[in-house]
Amino acid sequence: MSVTATPIDDGVIDGLGERLHGELLRPGDLGYDDARAIWNGMIDRRPALIVRAMGVSDVIAAVAFAREYDMLLAIRGAGHNIAGNAVCDDGLMLDLSAMRSVRVDPEERTARVEPGATLADFDHEAQAFGLATPLGINSTTGVAGLTLGGGFGWITRKYGLTVDNLRSVDIVTADGELRHASEDENPDLFWAVRGGGGNFGVVTSFEFALHEVGPEVLAGMVVYHGADAPAVLRHVRDFNETAPDESTVWVVLRKAPPLPFLPEPIHGEDVIVVVPFYAGDVTEGEGVLAPIREYGEPIADTVSPRQYTTFQQAFDPLLTEGVRNYWKSHNFREISDDAIDTVVEYARDLPSPLSEIFFGQLGGAMGRVPADATAFPHRDAAYGMNVHTRWEDPAMDDECIDWSREFFDAMAPYATGGVYVNFISEREGEEALAYGENHDRLVEVKTTYDPENLFRMNQNVEPAR
């Protein structure tokens, strides 16, 4: 096994370790391999140093060290980022996963969240008071990475993106200073972190607005045979055009997983899964969602009143860590008949049983925010499509990646030209598509706060030279 080394004097490295409240790991140390392992099994990188931070002082020390010794710096929150930017070869990995506290103020309806917290951590604390903010759909996702890229989920149509509910951040910038950023203080920096990714520093605290949600919501899955996909997609599209903001209906095309509510003969067969969610009164929601549930001849219907926290974890079994992942995404103002036909064609030829194509309904409150109000620019998107290509055998890498790219290209004529920054697997020129018309302003903020591009393990915005 190769050992990653650093030319920095051992005494200097020891000095860094002595300044930390947390832990400093080098190759060969107990816990080193666990610390560098992240969610996407394709990523296998070996940092020269890992700082496992316990607080802001550790973050400042790590940032200052990386800057002084010109080390590549990677920032890990919960380690869920698809591109694997949380870990680097030969540089310094700053691991924030131990900083995961969530403090809720039920009177003010706010939450202060540390960067290592997951969606499950956040939801557990907020739902103790019947509160929530828009987050993603997989409870092991990190709050930090999700937020910095924009963030959307089941209550986005009602309450906006995750960044629309961000009130302030504390952030360590490239000069090692801890800054507070909000609409009133460092507003340019606050604008940039709301969708500009990890380009501008290390956020050590997020402050979110909370809303009354649950604790019981109406949600579940309606599963149909794959042969029904063209008609089901058109029906959902037509229903969504006039649905209220409380209603969100997503669609997933995949092979039927071995879930207990699906008949065994269906396992491994093509299915289309309709996922309705209602962010309001359950009885009212039953009426609103009735046209979805009454359509066609489904294999199974699990829609029912359930705990919000439970549904936030419903897809966790399908998105477990450690397997290989390569994702692509598109945004759509509408889903045309031709787009549906293309999706159905490719869904019949998924490269692995773990792969899926999903359409997440957007719009609503998200779409009523101006495109330049935050760094996230894609306010015109009615749907976000993600191609979750997942497999286990490394020998299938080329096949799965090629299929993903081919499908991405086939859907491009129907899309807006924008992509979601959190769904980019690698740098292929997609950064410009992610930041869109806000890119030039992001360059200005980057040049102000990180002129040497210390924070470049991300979908990078390069500073002006």
Tokens of 77: 């929150």
Of the candidates 96, 307, 279, 121, the one whose C-alpha atom is nearest the C-alpha of residue 204 is 96
Q: For position 8, what pLDDT does the model report?
A: 83
The per-residue pLDDT for 231 is 98
**pLDDT classification of 318: cutoffs 50, 70, 90:** confident
Is the pLDDT confidence value at 428 over 70? no
Q: Is residue 250 over pLDDT 80?
A: yes
CB 461 within 8 A of CB 435: yes
CB 90 within 8 A of CB 46: yes
What are the start-end ranges of the E strands in 122-232? Answer: 131-132, 166-172, 178-182, 202-209, 211-212, 216-219, 222-225
The answer to whether 157 touches 364, Cβ cutoff 8 Å, is yes
Is 70 exceeded by the pLDDT of residue 381? yes
Cα 108 to chain centroid distance, Å, stands at 27
How far, in Å, CA of 343 to CA of 252, rounded? Answer: 11
Q: Is the pLDDT of residue 63 over 90?
A: yes
- Gap between the Cα atoms of 173 and 50, Å rounded: 19
pLDDT band at 7; cut points 50, 70, 90: confident
Question: Is the per-residue pLDDT at 258 higher than 80?
Answer: yes
Residue 88 to residue 74: CA distance in whole angstroms: 6
* Crossing angle for the helix pair 337-347 and 229-240, to the nearest 10 degrees: 140
Q: What is the token pair recorded at 91?
A: 């540089």
222-239 pLDDT, tens per residue? 999 999 999 999 999 999
Residue 20 confidence (pLDDT) above 80: yes
Q: What average pLDDT score do residues 363-379 get? A: 97
pLDDT of residue 4: 58
Q: Is 264 left (phi over 0), alpha (psi -120 to 50) or beta?
A: alpha
The alpha-carbon radius of gyration of the chain (Å, integer) is 22
Q: Where do the domains of the chain lie, and which CATH numbers do they carry?
A: 10-95 (3.30.43.10), 102-213+437-449 (3.30.465.10), 216-423 (3.40.462.20)
Length of the chain: 465
Lowest mean per-residue pLDDT among 27-36, 349-358, 375-384, 428-437: 428-437
Is residue 260 reached through a cis peptide bond, with omega within 30 degrees of 0 on the bond before it? no
- % helix / strand / coil in the chain, to the nearest 5? 35, 25, 45
Q: Residues 6 or more apart from 325 whose CB is under 8 A from it?
A: 39, 40, 41, 42, 82, 388, 389, 390, 425
Per-residue pLDDT at 430 exceeds 90: no
SS3 458: coil
**Phi and psi (nearest 5°) for 124?**
-60, -45
Q: What is the pLDDT of residue 10?
A: 86
The span from the CA of 88 to the CA of 86, in Å, is 7
CA of residue 208 relative to chain centroid, distance:
17
For 263, the token pair is 């008949």
Checking DSSP bridges between strand 92-95 and strand 304-307, what pairing results, if any?
unpaired
CB-side exposure of 39: number of CA atoms within 13 Å? 27
Which helix (H) or strand (E) element contains residue 278? strand 270-278
User: What value does the mean pLDDT of the chain take?
Assistant: 95
Provide the token pair at 98: 């131990």
Residue 406: half-sphere exposure toward Cβ, Cα within 13 Å: 13
In the chain, count of helices (H) and strands (E)?
15, 20
Contact 135, 119 (CB under 8 A): yes
Mean pLDDT of the region 252-257:
96
The two tokens of residue 438 are 């806000």
CA distance 361 to 38: 28
Average pLDDT score over residue span 441-447: 98
User: Looking at residue 2, what is its pLDDT?
Assistant: 43
Is the pLDDT assigned to residue 255 strictly greater than 70?
yes
How many CA atoms does the CB half-sphere of 167 hold within 13 Å? 11
Question: Are 411 and 384 within 8 A, CB to CB?
Answer: no
Task: Give the mean pLDDT of 95-103.
Answer: 98
CB 214 within 8 A of CB 127: yes
Which DSSP helix (H) or strand (E) runs through 146?
helix 143-149
* pLDDT band with cut points at 50, 70 and 90 for residue 427: low
* E runs forming strands in 315-459: 324-332, 356-361, 383-391
* pLDDT score for 5: 56
pLDDT above 70 covers a percentage of the chain that reads 98
Q: Angle at CA 49, nearest 5°, toward 43 and 51?
A: 95
Distances (CA, A) of 288 to 245, 247, 293, 376: 11, 8, 10, 30
| 65 vs 427: which has the higher pLDDT | 65
Read off the pTM: 0.95
